[in-house]
Amino acid sequence: MTSLSFSQTATKIVLNKRDSLIYMPKQLAIFLIQDVVKSDAYAEEIAVLNDNLQVKDRIITQQDTIIAIYKKKEVSFQKSISLHEETESEHTVQIQELTHKLEKKRKTLHFWQIVAVGAIGGMIGIHYNWKYGQ
């Protein structure tokens, strides 16, 4: 192998025998460094995007909770309105019954008032007849 590549012949052992130098073209080294920098930037970008997703998930969860609360309130209000309508119709029937009873009592009272006036008038007539005797 005459050209330098990533092989045994393209390395050189340095001070200790565990470490070695790799020979490669400068442009390739520049590309490798750029890729490492881009990789770090992409890792940071992914972390930021994951944080954003978590925040948006929390927002969605909060919105779902708010929606559920408002749905429960809506059901409660509908029940309340239904109960109010039932109560209102019952009160309307009771008012009609009481109005009918009141009218009946007024008529009865009016009758007895007429009877009382007639009786008092009759008693006054009898009294005058007895006292002045015609």
Looking at residue 24, its pLDDT comes to 81
Looking at residue 29, its pLDDT comes to 87
Q: What are the 10-residue block averages of pLDDT along the chain, 134 residues in total?
A: 49 64 84 90 94 97 97 96 95 95 93 91 85 74
Query: 23: Cβ–Cβ under 8 A, 6 or more apart, which residues?
Result: 4, 10, 11, 12
Q: How far apart are CA 109 and CA 103, in angstroms?
A: 10
10, exposed or middle or buried, with CB in 10 Å at 0-12, 13-18, 19+? Answer: middle
Looking at residue 76, its pLDDT comes to 96
91, exposed or middle or buried, with CB in 10 Å at 0-12, 13-18, 19+? Answer: exposed
Looking at residue 17, its pLDDT comes to 67
Looking at residue 21, its pLDDT comes to 73
Looking at residue 12, its pLDDT comes to 60
